Structure 1
Amino acid sequence: MPVFTSRRSLILGGAAALGLPLLPRRARAADAWPTKPVKFIVPFAAGGTTDILARVVAAKVSEEYGQQFIVENKPGAGGNIAADFVAKADPDGYTFLVGTPGTHAINKYVFKSMAYDPIKDLAPVIIIARVPNLFSVTNALPVKNVAEFIALAKSKPGEFFYGTPGLGSTAHVSTELFKSMTGVNIVHVPYKGSAPALTDLIAGRVHLMIDNLPAAQPFAESNSIRPIAVSTATRWPLMPDIPTIAEAGVPGYEAASWFTIAAPAKTPMDMINKLNASVEKFIKSEDGTARLRKLGAEPAGGSPEAMQAYVIAETEKWGKVAQFAGIKPE
């Protein structure tokens, strides 16, 4: 009876005869990855911070691998539509989510029905960057720093209004964190995005915002609003004269938006590690750091395990703030 030997058997047999190591099939697949276009799913419309950061990273890794990384926008439900799409995608290394605090940590406290579990259904890849929030007041308000604002707000409880891009936004929970740590009584006015909220801050219809730096910075630089602090633990390198909220009278205060890459659960770890290394190399390079800072973002990086630990810590932190603020899933 003739013996038929497959081409694969001959190759493996030859490798063994030469004393070469036999790599697992998954490792060989990762070495070749990507062999076709890769999708970065963005949970918001084009033009926002998430979309811009995704496109900057996608362009760089496309260049590195000689394979297209395509940014696809799937807005809706505070990012849940995109996150659920990625959570249910094939875990083959060709679909990734560019996530935010909403998709990973806050939405569970805002939305009654969540079709995915951020921890169980999404595998961490890397934190691309953190974005400070800028504490700004309307020019009509007679305060020059955080301590003066706290004193004024406590002297007139319930008389000052703060704007946000919407319920559950980082601006919302960051301001509620500020309230919980200072005891001020200020009233939330949610808008449908940063632009209309900032318009009313300029006009004095709301009195303060603690909103993402990229959205607020142009108005601060044109003196349309008065920036008095940043929300991160350290000062923003491009605005070094503006103190942190912690420095300015609220010790321990820290809040930021952050932007991540995540994959469907069960995506091979070697593919995740390969993408992690590429993004880390870019964002920590001189060019990458400069480009991100120009967008108002500070490079983060780190391992997938570090991202997972950070997401869990942020989820617990914002859960406490949601409870304080009385935020109920709707």
Structure 2
Amino acid sequence: MIEPLHPRSRINRRNLLRSAGAAIALPLLTRTARAGDWPERPVTLVVPFAPGGTTDVLAHLLAEVLTRHYRQPFVIANKTGASGNIAAAFVASAPPDGYTFLIGTPGIHATNRLVYRSMDYDPVADFAPVILIARVPNLLSVTKALPVTSVAELIDYARQRPRQLVYGVSALGSTGHLSTELFKTMTGIEITPLPFKGSAPMLRDLADGRVHLTIDNLPASKPLVEAGEIRALAFTTAKRWEPMRQLPTIAESGLPGYETASWFTIGAPRATPPEIVTSLNATVAAYLGSASGAAQLRRIGAEPNGGSPEDMRRHVLAEIVRWEKVAKTAGIVPL
């Protein structure tokens, strides 16, 4: 059982999927719809974690694109804490005027509720979906001081040292966190979680040997793998990541059926004008669909997605159901 970080007001879990049906459905406007003079001043993209992680990297890429397109600054605000819940609550309560958006994660939309019994926002009803930015494989990595070079060796090593290994958690409730708990359940190993306020500080401790292993997003882990500071063992996805085909998946390394991944979104306060949402969706979708934009994301380890606001809404609802099954298998319950 895992301790959450200081929850406050209570969200009724039984009403979550019901609230999804009552969430504001954005009309499917044409891409020629105009948002008037928006934006007339700087727009804030709220990132729920410390600088340097995958969410932050994607936010900065988008901020550059949007600043050029709209000729107004799109600025990054890193609001860390409570696995993204602080940032999510901030955006949920922000004025719905098109000047505050959230760079969302599976934790905020689907999995934090599996760890936190109480949150200050409804992960479905409080946000207007804008776009699913990208899907991202997670990577199982170890500190180079650990004498293992494969998933099988890691499992054997951990089994011989119950509760002696520490795994890094970029955020409680994150896909990396739940993925590692699922790994523990399927292998029977006993390892201890150590939570951080984002991927960057957690990966630094992994490189320095203060953390033994982690499962985290590829874009955050990739630079340290390429620099030889940490050792990558396997991907969590069902298939190998094409640019790094030399690395196997966890499923083909002795755990058939193991599969998890991550993804990132843009969300807005729920009453944000639909024409602003449509304009932002079209601009980001054009970038993701361009050859240069797709190549830029793939270089950092992300697969561009896109689609409509409604596509994002359907994806979030499907992920809520999927991660509930993972949490049940791993024995995770909210406190």
Greater RCO (Cα-Cα under 8 Å, separation 6 or more): 2
* 2: CA distance, partners of 1:197 / 1:243: 23
Are the structure 2 counterparts of residues 325 and 165 from structure 1 closer, same or farther at C-alpha, using a change threshold of 3 Å?
A: same
| Mapping 1:258-269, distance limit 5 Å | 258-269=263-274
* 1: CA distance, partners of 2:225 / 2:126: 40
* 2: CA distance, partners of 1:31 / 1:229: 45
Match of residue 186, structure 1, among 185, 190, 195: 190
2:93 is aligned with what amino acid?
A: K
Higher deviation after alignment, 89-98 or 201-210: 201-210
How much has 1:148 moved relative to structure 2? 4.3
With structure 1 as the length reference, what TM-score do the two structures score? 0.79
Residue 228 of structure 2 corresponds to residue 223 of structure 1: yes
Residue 128 of structure 2 corresponds to residue 119 of structure 1: no
Match of residue 284, structure 2, among 275, 279, 284: 279
2:65 is aligned with what amino acid?
A: K
Aligned position for 1:212? 217
Aligned position for 1:246? 251
Are the structure 2 counterparts of residues 166 and 68 from structure 1 closer, same or farther at C-alpha, using a change threshold of 3 Å?
A: closer
- Structure 1 residues 234-268: Cα deviation after superposition (integer angstroms, max 9, x where no partner): 32233221122233333333222321101111323
Alignment check: 8 A CA contact 1:33 1:271 kept: no
How much has 1:313 moved relative to structure 2? 2.3
Alignment check: 8 A CA contact 1:161 1:186 kept: no
- Structure 1 residues 62-102: Cα deviation after superposition (integer angstroms, max 9, x where no partner): 22223332323322322222212221223333321111122
Task: Give SS of 2:255's match.
Answer: coil
- Structure 1 residues 148-186: Cα deviation after superposition (integer angstroms, max 9, x where no partner): 444555566555443323432332111112233x23223
How much has 1:190 moved relative to structure 2? 0.8
* 1: CA distance, partners of 2:291 / 2:239: 20
Task: Give SS of 2:216's match.
Answer: strand
Residue 299 of structure 2 corresponds to residue 290 of structure 1: no
2:244 is aligned with what amino acid?
A: M
* 1: CA distance, partners of 2:126 / 2:193: 33
* 2: CA distance, partners of 1:282 / 1:168: 30
1:285 is aligned with what amino acid?
A: S
Structure 2: which 5+ residue stretches go unaligned? 1-28
1:74 is aligned with what amino acid?
A: K
Alignment check: 8 A CA contact 1:166 1:190 kept: no
Match of residue 234, structure 1, among 234, 239, 250: 239
How much has 1:302 moved relative to structure 2? 1.9
Structure 1: which 5+ residue stretches go unaligned? 1-25
* 2: CA distance, partners of 1:293 / 1:127: 15
* 2: CA distance, partners of 1:317 / 1:233: 15
Residue 103 of structure 2 corresponds to residue 98 of structure 1: yes
Match of residue 131, structure 1, among 126, 129, 136: 136
Are the structure 2 counterparts of residues 55 and 137 from structure 1 closer, same or farther at C-alpha, using a change threshold of 3 Å?
A: closer
Aligned position for 1:34? 38
Match of residue 89, structure 1, among 87, 91, 94: 94
Are the structure 2 counterparts of residues 301 and 233 from structure 1 closer, same or farther at C-alpha, using a change threshold of 3 Å?
A: farther
2:34 is aligned with what amino acid?
A: A
Match of residue 318, structure 2, among 301, 313, 322: 313
2:192 is aligned with what amino acid?
A: H
Alignment check: 8 A CA contact 1:153 1:185 kept: yes
RMSD value, Cα: 2.9
Aligned position for 1:45? 50
- Structure 1 residues 297-318: Cα deviation after superposition (integer angstroms, max 9, x where no partner): 2212122222122212222333
| Mapping 1:15-34, distance limit 5 Å | 30-34=34-38
With structure 2 as the length reference, what TM-score do the two structures score? 0.78
Aligned position for 1:68? 73
* 1: CA distance, partners of 2:192 / 2:289: 37
Match of residue 255, structure 1, among 255, 260, 269: 260
Alignment check: 8 A CA contact 1:36 1:68 kept: no
Higher deviation after alignment, 63-72 or 28-37: 28-37
Alignment check: 8 A CA contact 1:136 1:209 kept: yes
Aligned residues: 304
Are the structure 2 counterparts of residues 52 and 153 from structure 1 closer, same or farther at C-alpha, using a change threshold of 3 Å?
A: closer
* 2: CA distance, partners of 1:110 / 1:258: 19
Bigger Cα Rg: 1
How much has 1:134 moved relative to structure 2? 1.4
Are the structure 2 counterparts of residues 310 and 85 from structure 1 closer, same or farther at C-alpha, using a change threshold of 3 Å?
A: same
Task: Give SS of 1:144's match.
Answer: coil
Task: Give SS of 1:186's match.
Answer: coil
Are the structure 2 counterparts of residues 81 and 207 from structure 1 closer, same or farther at C-alpha, using a change threshold of 3 Å?
A: closer
